């Protein structure tokens, strides 16, 4: 036994290869002990395969490493291992499989000719090669030499043992007769584990375990079988040998492309058992390669389980420390920074991220500025409010040279500001508006982007738009100016409707703010006249003094399936429903209604006649006829009509009653069918609308004129 230990250590000292167990210190012999030192090992294959569940990909990689080591022994070292068993394969601390156990190895006498020694019952099994892994030719009578095919047979038996989970293909119990019986039935034994091997590997092992030495392939040819044709497997093999890549371009291409493409197909356990240890071992002190490993590192961070995230912190911190000095690394981090905030939860990394954002925005390099701007929408929700208001927005205000006459850059900035708008409150929204005004292009996409920002501000919190001057200068004015450009064909139908909806919404907000201010003033003035109330707060949105058509809109949308309806007062005094007007379902039907719900409390509210069906397209209606049924404020409509008819004479009274009858008939046609089906349904009391107030005033004016003319005639 002592002689075997001495011989093995001597053989190991003379072998230097990545797949051979490395000796750190030669054998020391005293009267009390033998000692020698190797590289750090995790265990041998016997303990790992039987005790731990090894991933299938890791098994294939380990088998390839054994094949590489055995090929080195046969072709370069001219050595036959002679005892390739699970106890002879060691797994290092970085999960590399290496060959040891050279107690029975022999050197070649001639090319591919190695001496062999018969296996005998006279010696203890521990002083001889393992019978279950020996090739049949080693036991043939009168056989004194063998070829490298003997190790190939042992390798085949070892592969079967690995894939079968530690079950021996040949289990002779150190009995020669049993061994010969099993060897003659290897085809049946392979069939028993065919499911574990798979069809490709099983076919190859049938040749490897052939009793005919000539049919066994050379060991290096085993790497070419289809079972090992896998991009992920190839990438891991190259990663193990990255220290032997001396071409920097080859190494960088492998890390940024080959390995990055293979990482999604590699199990998570191998990420942390093999990939990260290789990075730590080979790349930790190579800053020039940091950029090329950011893609695989960020993919691992993004997709690993939460309990493994802490293992990524050393590398992420290392990258952040070097980001300020590496332009490519900084650009990549800026565009993928959301993963750091979302997954890592590291204060040091987050502080470095904030510094990188400001440093890049202040840089003279436009590519870094673009990366910083494009990355802001993804991290806006994670940025501290103090950082946004005190550092980020003031830095953005210094970007006009970067934005000058560049539509794509302005569009990127508007996308970033839209995301940042959710974090701004009333106190700092003015600074946000100033940043929005930096994007001064009248291109259709810029105008539409500003429209979406306006809608986003209103949807999230319309109270931030209290300052009418800021809203008009920075939001309303650019939208109206954009619509007034000469080339309206740049706007698609949906974009045009969307912008028009934003303009209406902002105008309603301005109107609401104005009315609220008047209400407060009147409330102060009317504290001593509590009994006097105004007729209502129903107001006309625009005056008809100078306009041929007056838009009378409802601030509250209908909650039925009908879209919101607009009524227009023509110059000839007729009410026109533009039901056939083109509208965008998204921009007008739902969005503007939602906006009106938020800002319409206390503003113009029309009665149900303002939300009639779109089936009456292009219908024109006399304002006097409409007045008869649209509202009844404090007076009886029929009584008022009768009084008017008496003043106008019998003939006029008859015509007026006929018109009233026709108006009632039109009301019956326009009435909802649900009203007839539900006669006992309670309807809310009619509420005055904007048109009702206007029509009421016009009718009173008309009546006074008639009285004056009549008195003048009598006089």
Q: For residue range 177-211, what is the model confidence (pLDDT) as tens digits?
A: 999 999 999 999 999 998 999 888 999 999 999 99
Burial 676-695 (b: 16+ CB within 10 A, else e): eeeeeeeeeeeebbbbbbbb
Q: So what's the pLDDT on residue 248?
A: 86
Q: Choose between 557 and 176: higher pLDDT.
A: 176
In this prediction, residue 426 has a pLDDT band, given cuts at 50, 70 and 90, of confident
Q: So what's the pLDDT on residue 76?
A: 93
Measured distance CA(298)–CA(260) in Å, rounded: 10
Q: So what's the pLDDT on residue 520?
A: 82
pLDDT tens per residue across span 223-243: 999 999 999 999 999 998 888
Report in angstroms the alpha-carbon separations of 635 from 45, 140, 203, 540. Answer: 101, 125, 101, 21
Q: Choose between 553 and 266: higher pLDDT.
A: 266
Contacts of 514 (CB under 8 A, 6+ apart): none
* 339-344 LR contacts (CB < 8 Å, sep 24+): 339/298, 339/301, 339/302, 340/301, 340/316, 341/379, 341/382, 342/382, 343/301, 343/302, 343/309, 344/301, 344/309, 344/312, 344/313, 344/316
The angle formed by the CA atoms of residues 221, 68 and 160, to the nearest 5 degrees, is 75
Closest CA to 66 of 191, 181, 152: 152
Closest CA to 471 of 507, 512, 422, 519: 507
**Residue 670 pLDDT exceeds 50:** no
What strand order describes the sheet that includes 620-622?
550-552, 567-569, 574-577, 620-622
Mean pLDDT (whole number) for 249-258: 92
Measured distance CA(511)–CA(599) in Å, rounded: 10
**Residue 672 pLDDT exceeds 50:** no
Mean pLDDT (whole number) for 385-404: 92
Q: DSSP string of 348-363?
A: HHHHHHHHHHHHHHTS
Measured distance CA(672)–CA(326) in Å, rounded: 70
Mean pLDDT (whole number) for 494-503: 85
Say what percent of the chain tops pLDDT 90.
Answer: 43
Say what percent of the chain tops pLDDT 70.
Answer: 72
pLDDT tens per residue across span 522-545: 888 776 555 444 444 444 444 333
Measured distance CA(180)–CA(182) in Å, rounded: 6
Question: 130 and 85 in contact (C-beta within 8 Å)?
Answer: yes
Q: Which of 36-45, 211-220, 338-347, 506-515 has the lowest mean pLDDT?
A: 506-515
Give Cα 686 distance to the centre of its chain: 51
Contacts of 512 (CB under 8 A, 6+ apart): 555, 599, 600, 602, 603
528 φ, ψ to 5°?
A: -90, 0
Measured distance CA(501)–CA(172) in Å, rounded: 87
Q: So what's the pLDDT on residue 461?
A: 85
Give me the residue label for tokens 């706007």: 491
**Residue 621 pLDDT exceeds 50:** no
Q: So what's the pLDDT on residue 490?
A: 65
Measured distance CA(300)–CA(276) in Å, rounded: 10
| DSSP category for residue 389 | I
Q: Which of 140-154, 361-375, 610-624 has the lowest mean pLDDT?
A: 610-624
In this prediction, residue 565 has a pLDDT band, given cuts at 50, 70 and 90, of very low
**Residue 602 pLDDT exceeds 70:** no
**Residue 409 pLDDT exceeds 90:** yes
**Residue 93 pLDDT exceeds 70:** yes
Measured distance CA(299)–CA(304) in Å, rounded: 8
Q: DSSP string of 266-293?
A: S-HHHIIIIIHHHHHHHTTT-GGGHHHH
Q: So what's the pLDDT on residue 702?
A: 55
Q: So what's the pLDDT on residue 646?
A: 41
Give me the residue label for tokens 């051979």: 20
Q: What is the mean pLDDT of the chain?
A: 77
Question: 231 and 271 in contact (C-beta within 8 Å)?
Answer: no
Collapse the DSSP code of 393 into the 3-class scheme (helix H, G, I; strand E, B; otherwise coil) and give the result: helix
**Residue 387 pLDDT exceeds 90:** yes
The angle formed by the CA atoms of residues 114, 116 and 122, to the nearest 5 degrees, is 165
Q: Choose between 89 and 492: higher pLDDT.
A: 89
**What's the full length of the chain, in residues?**
715
Measured distance CA(78)–CA(99) in Å, rounded: 15
pLDDT tens per residue across span 680-701: 444 444 444 444 455 555 655 6
Measured distance CA(222)–CA(232) in Å, rounded: 18
Measured distance CA(8)–CA(36) in Å, rounded: 11
Q: So what's the pLDDT on residue 587?
A: 41
Q: So what's the pLDDT on residue 46?
A: 86
Q: So what's the pLDDT on residue 628?
A: 39
Tokens representing 126 are: 């521990």
Contacts of 580 (CB under 8 A, 6+ apart): 614, 617, 618
Report in angstroms the alpha-carbon separations of 392 from 135, 381, 433, 660. Answer: 73, 14, 14, 66
Mean pLDDT (whole number) for 134-155: 91
**Residue 583 pLDDT exceeds 70:** no
Q: DSSP string of 21-52?
A: PPEEEEEEE-SS-EEEEES-EEEEHHHHHHHS
In this prediction, residue 488 has a pLDDT band, given cuts at 50, 70 and 90, of low
Single pTM value for the model: 0.67
Q: So what's the pLDDT on residue 484?
A: 76
Mean pLDDT (whole number) for 24-38: 88
């Amino acid at each position: 036994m002592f002689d075997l230990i001495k011989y093995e250590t001597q053989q190991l000292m003379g072998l230097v290869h990545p797949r051979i167990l490395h000796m750190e210190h030669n054998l020391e012999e005293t009267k009390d002990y033998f000692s020698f030192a190797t590289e750090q090992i995790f265990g041998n294959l016997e303990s790992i395969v039987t005790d731990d569940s090894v991933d299938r990909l890791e098994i294939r990689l380990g088998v390839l490493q054994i094949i590489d080591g055995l090929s080195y022994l046969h072709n370069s070292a001219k050595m036959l291992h002679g005892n390739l068993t699970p106890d002879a394969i060691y797994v290092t601390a970085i999960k590399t499989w290496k060959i040891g156990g050279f107690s029975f190895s022999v050197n070649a006498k001639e090319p591919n000719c190695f001496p062999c020694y018969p296996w005998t019952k006279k010696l203890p099994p521990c002083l001889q090669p393992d019978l279950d892994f020996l090739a049949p030719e080693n036991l043939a009578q009168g056989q004194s030499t063998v070829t490298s095919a003997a190790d190939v047979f042992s390798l085949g038996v070892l592969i079967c043992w690995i894939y079968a989970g530690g079950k021996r293909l040949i289990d002779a119990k150190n009995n020669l007769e049993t061994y010969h019986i099993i060897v003659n039935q290897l085809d049946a034994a392979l069939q028993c584990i065919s499911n574990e091997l798979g069809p490709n590997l099983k076919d190859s092992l049938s040749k490897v375990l052939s009793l005919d030495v000539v049919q066994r392939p050379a060991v290096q040819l085993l790497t070419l079988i289809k079972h090992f044709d896998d991009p992920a497997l190839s990438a891991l093999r190259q990663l193990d040998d990255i220290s032997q890549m001396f071409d920097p371009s080859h190494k960088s291409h492998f890390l940024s492309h080959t390995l990055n493409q293979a990482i999604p197909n590699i199990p998570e356990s191998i990420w942390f058992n093999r990939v990260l240890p290789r990075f730590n071992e080979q790349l930790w002190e190579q800053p020039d390669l940091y950029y090329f490993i950011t893609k695989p590192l960020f993919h691992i961070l993004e997709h690993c389980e939460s309990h493994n995230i802490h293992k990524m912190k050393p590398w992420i911190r290392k990258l952040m420390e070097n980001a300020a000095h590496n332009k490519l690394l900084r650009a990549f981090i800026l565009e993928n920074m959301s993963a750091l905030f979302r997954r890592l939860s590291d204060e040091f990394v987050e502080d470095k991220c904030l510094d990188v954002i400001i440093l890049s925005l202040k840089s003279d390099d436009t590519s870094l500025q673009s990366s910083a701007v494009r990355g802001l929408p993804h991290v806006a929700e994670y940025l501290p409010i103090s950082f946004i208001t005190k550092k980020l927005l003031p830095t953005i205000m210094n970007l006009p040279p970067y934005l000058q006459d560049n539509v794509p850059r302005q569009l990127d900035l508007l996308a970033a500001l839209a995301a940042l708008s959710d974090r701004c409150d009333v106190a700092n929204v003015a600074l946000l508006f100033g940043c929005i005004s930096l994007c001064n292009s009248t291109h259709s996409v810029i105008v539409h982007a500003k429209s979406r920002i306006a809608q986003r501000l209103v949807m999230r919190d319309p109270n931030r738009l209290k300052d009418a001057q800021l809203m008009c200068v920075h939001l309303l004015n650019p939208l109206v100016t954009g619509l007034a450009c000469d080339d309206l064909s740049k706007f698609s139908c949906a974009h045009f409707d969307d912008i028009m909806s934003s303009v209406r919404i902002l105008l309603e907000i301005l109107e609401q703010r104005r009315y609220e201010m008047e209400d407060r003033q009147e409330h102060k003035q009317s504290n001593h006249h509590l009994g006097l109330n105004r007729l209502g707060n129903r107001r006309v949105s625009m005056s008809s003094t100078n306009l041929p058509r007056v838009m009378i809109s409802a601030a509250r949308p209908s909650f039925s399936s009908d879209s919101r309806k607009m009524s227009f007062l023509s110059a000839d005094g007729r009410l026109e429903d533009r039901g056939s007007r083109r509208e965008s379902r998204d921009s007008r039907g739902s969005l503007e209604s939602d906006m009106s719900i938020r800002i319409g409390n206390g503003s113009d509210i029309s009665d149900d006649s303002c939300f009639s069906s779109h089936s009456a397209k292009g219908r024109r209606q006399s304002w006097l006829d409409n007045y008869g049924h649209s509202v009844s404020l404090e007076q009886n409509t029929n009584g008022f009509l009768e009084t008017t008819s008496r003043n106008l004479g019998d003939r006029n009274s008859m015509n007026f009653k006929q018109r009233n009858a026709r108006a009632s008939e039109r009301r019956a046609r326009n009435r909802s069918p649900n009203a007839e089906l539900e006669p006992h349904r309670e309807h809310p009391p009619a509420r005055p609308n904007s048109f009702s107030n206007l029509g009421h005033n016009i009718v009173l004016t008309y009546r006074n004129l008639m009285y004056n003319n009549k008195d003048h005639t009598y006089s």
